[in-house]
């Protein structure tokens, strides 16, 4: 049994992955275009809300309250969901969740499942587990389908294929759907997906979904979507399995009034997404007659235990921080090596893995604060990034160059005498590298700075030296 986040434990360092990705001009163009469009739409529909800040505040406080009483609300949800005919399972980690889901599908003797977009299933690598057991999963969200058929990885938590343009998608569909003809207009491509999936919606007996909200007081589950693939999956098959992170529970049905306002506006820049489905257990003569919920921990309780980073679990997965982030907009999502990219991924991914992997992600930020500003539940991402950097250093996982530089700085700043001595040494040491008062190339490690910007040389006379001299001359 083990906890993991996709394949993040084996991903290259962010800085290494990013270097390769920023050279891919096609990806950069696609990412820039997509994030520009969503940002503009979001700004418009957020701007028309006179009470946006109050909604953010309440959204944050409801989540914080829920986390304070998470044990109570999970048990309450279990009770209400069970009373309505649902079956609730608990999974300590990714492996346990996979084995529960695989077991449930096998019990139906099903060889295929349809899936509604769930990043949580990517987190636990559910598709890999299903395939290893001879079960074929069909992703039904258009972007997820593009990613799955392209044997690719998601690059955004809301629009996972935003790094692909229409020509690339057309090639993937032609190849994988065995089509002989296909236009390249988005309408043509969407119609191809409709035709490809319709037969599966009507036939496949088991569906797997995630959830946006699990509602404790009514036992209801809410899925927010646009295409109708969610409605298909949760209402047509005989059996429905919903994989839900324990942080997705909210206390009351009434609390939806906050999130159903902030989530669509933040995620896709719509006043409301086309479809919300809310269901409670099993309904006779309507939809699945067997309904399972798998409540997943997989590192979440570890995050809960860190008071300063706890609010990471407030996240409602809108993706606004990705679109706003100047780093994400340059690199795209793949550089983060995780199903969760961008600012939220940079804090969530390493924490879910107990800070044992993905330690470079907290550094994948300029700390500009744009993510915090757009977050609909007011997660102070920059503060948590700094907090996690601190943790990385404490673990002794900071890069060697940085640790050495910090040791030197600690010595130099200990006393005026030390600073004087360090400055004098520096003046001698810098000689081979100075040209016209600036340093453009430093050797070994220190080139992390000079590789992208110049460093002013230490001047012949510092302000302190000049001041002492002046006092002497005047005095």
Partner 1 sequence: MSSARDEILERIRDAMGGSTPAREADYDAIPRNYVRQGSLDVDARLELLVDRLHDYGATVFHSQEGEVATAVAAALRASGKMSLLIPRDLPRAWLPDGFHFFREGASYQEVDASEGVLTDCALAIAATGSIVLRHSAGEARRALSLIPDYHLCVVFAGQVVETVPEGIQQMKAFANIPITTIAGPSATADIEMIRVKGVHGPRTFDVILVE
Stretch 97-156 residues interacting with partner 1 (CB under 8 A): 140-143, 146
Q: Which of residues 75, 175, 356, 447 is near partner 1 by CB under 8 A? A: 75
Give the Cα separation of 167 and 111 in Å (integer).
Answer: 32
Question: What residues numbered 401-440 form the site for partner 1, per CB under 8 A?
Answer: none
Chain positions 164 to 203 lying near partner 1, rule: CB under 8 A, are 165-166, 169, 186-187, 189-190, 193-194, 197-198, 201-202
Binding-residue pattern over the window 298 to 337 for partner 1, x denoting contact by CB under 8 A: ---xx-xx--------------------------------
Number of residues that bind partner 1 (CB under 8 A): 92
d(CA 74, CA 70): 6
* Residue span binding partner 1 (CB under 8 A) among the ranges 6-14, 84-92, 394-402, 457-465: 84-92
Q: E-assigned strands of 175-259?
A: 206-209, 213-215, 220-225, 239-245, 249-250
Binders of partner 1 in range 274-293 (CB under 8 A): 274-280, 283, 285-287
Closer residue to partner 1 (CB): 283 or 462: 283
91: nearest Cα among 136, 61, 129, 65: 129
Say if strands 275-280 and 220-225 run parallel, antiparallel, or are unpaired: antiparallel
| Minimal distance, residue 254 CB to partner 1, in Å | 6
Running DSSP on this structure, what letter comes out for residue 459?
Answer: P
Contact region for partner 1 (CB under 8 A) — 86-94, 124-132, 384-392, 418-426? 86-94
Query: How would you classify residue 83: left for phi > 0, otherwise alpha for psi between -120 and 50, otherwise beta?
Result: alpha
Smallest separation, CB 307 to partner 1 (Å): 9
Residue 163 vs 357, nearer CB to partner 1: 163
Question: For 342-346, which contacts have Cβ atoms below 8 Å and span 24 or more sequence positions?
Answer: 342/156, 342/157, 342/371, 343/371, 343/381, 343/385, 344/157, 344/312, 344/315, 344/317, 344/371, 344/379, 344/381, 345/157, 346/381, 346/385
Picking from 91, 472, 154, the residue whose alpha carbon sits closest to that of residue 333 is: 154
Which CB, 276 or 360, lies closer to partner 1?
276
Q: Does 358 bind partner 1 (CB under 8 A)?
A: no
Q: Which of 7, 253, 448, 458 binds partner 1 (CB under 8 A)?
A: 253
Q: Could you tell me the sign of the dihedral formed by the alpha carbons of 97, 332, 319, 377, in that order?
A: positive
Which CB atom, from 166 or from 390, has the smaller least distance to partner 1?
166
Judge residue 140's burial from the number of C-beta atoms within 10 Å of its C-beta, 0-12 exposed, 13-18 middle, 19 or more buried.
buried
In the block, residue with structure tokens 């992600």: 361
Region of 55-63, 324-332, 404-412, 417-425 interacting with partner 1 (CB under 8 A): 55-63
Residues 228-247 touching partner 1, rule: CB under 8 A, are: 228-229, 231-232, 235-236, 246
Residue 51 or 465: the one with the smaller Cβ distance to partner 1 is 51
Which of these segments, 105-113, 214-222, 362-370, 399-407, binds partner 1 (CB under 8 A)? 214-222
CA distances from 222 to 212, 375, 385, 393 (A): 6, 21, 30, 40
Residue with Cβ nearer partner 1 (16 or 202) = 202
Q: Of all helices (H) and strands (E), which one includes residue 56?
A: helix 52-68
Q: Which residue stretch of 4-12, 122-130, 163-171, 361-369 sits at the interface with partner 1 (rule: CB under 8 A)?
A: 163-171
The CA-based diameter of the chain, rounded to the nearest angstrom, is 98
């Amino acid at each position: 049994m083990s906890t993991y986040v996709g394949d993040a434990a084996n991903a290259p360092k962010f800085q290494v992955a990013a270097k390769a990705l920023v050279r891919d001009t096609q990806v950069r163009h696609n990412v820039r275009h997509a994030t520009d469009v969503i940002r503009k739409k979001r700004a418009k529909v957020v701007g028309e809300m006179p009470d946006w800040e109050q909604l953010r505040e309440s959204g944050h406080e409801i989540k914080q309250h829920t986390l304070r009483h998470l044990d109570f609300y999970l048990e309450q949800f279990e009770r209400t969901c069970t009373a309505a005919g649902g079956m609730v399972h608990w999974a300590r980690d990714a492996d346990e969740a996979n084995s529960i889901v695989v077991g449930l599908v096998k019990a139906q003797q099903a060889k295929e499942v349809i899936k509604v977009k769930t990043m949580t299933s990517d987190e636990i690598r559910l598709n890999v587990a299903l395939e290893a057991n001879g079960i074929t999963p069909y992703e039904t969200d258009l972007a997820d389908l593009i990613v799955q058929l392209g044997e690719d990885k998601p690059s955004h938590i809301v629009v996972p294929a935003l790094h692909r343009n229409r020509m690339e998608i057309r090639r993937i569909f032609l190849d994988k759907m065995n089509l002989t003809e296909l236009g390249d207009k988005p309408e043509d491509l969407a119609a191809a997906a409709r035709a490809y999936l319709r037969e599966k919606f009507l036939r496949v007996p088991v569906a797997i979904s995630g959830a946006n909200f699990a509602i404790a007081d009514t036992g209801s589950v809410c899925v927010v979507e646009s295409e109708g693939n969610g409605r298909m999956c949760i209402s047509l098959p005989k059996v429905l399995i919903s994989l839900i992170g324990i942080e997705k529970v909210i206390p009351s049905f009434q609390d939806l009034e906050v999130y159903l306002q902030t989530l669509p506006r933040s995620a896709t820049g719509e006043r409301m997404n086309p479809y919300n489905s809310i269901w409670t257990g099993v309904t006779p003569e309507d939809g699945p007659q067997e309904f399972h919920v798998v409540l997943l921990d997989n590192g979440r309780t570890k995050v809960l235990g860190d008071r300063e980073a706890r609010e990471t679990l407030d996240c409602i997965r809108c993706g606004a921080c990705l679109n706003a982030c100047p780093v994400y907009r340059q690199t795209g999502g793949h550089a983060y090596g995780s199903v969760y990219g961008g600012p939220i991924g940079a804090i969530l991914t390493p924490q879910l893995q107990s800070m044992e992997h993905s330690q470079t992600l907290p550094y994948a930020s300029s700390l500009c604060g744009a993510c915090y500003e757009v977050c609909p539940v007011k997660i102070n991402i920059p503060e948590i990034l700094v907090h996690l950097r601190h943790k990385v250093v404490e673990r002794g996982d900071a890069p060697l160059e940085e640790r050495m530089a910090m040791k030197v700085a600690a010595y130099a700043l200990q006393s005026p005498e030390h600073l004087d001595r360090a400055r004098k040494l520096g003046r001698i040491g810098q000689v081979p590298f100075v040209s016209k008062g600036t340093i453009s190339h430093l050797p070994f490690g220190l080139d992390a700075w000079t590789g992208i910007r110049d460093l002013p040389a230490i001047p012949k006379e510092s302000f302190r030296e000049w001041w002492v001299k002046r006092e002497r001359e005047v005095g």
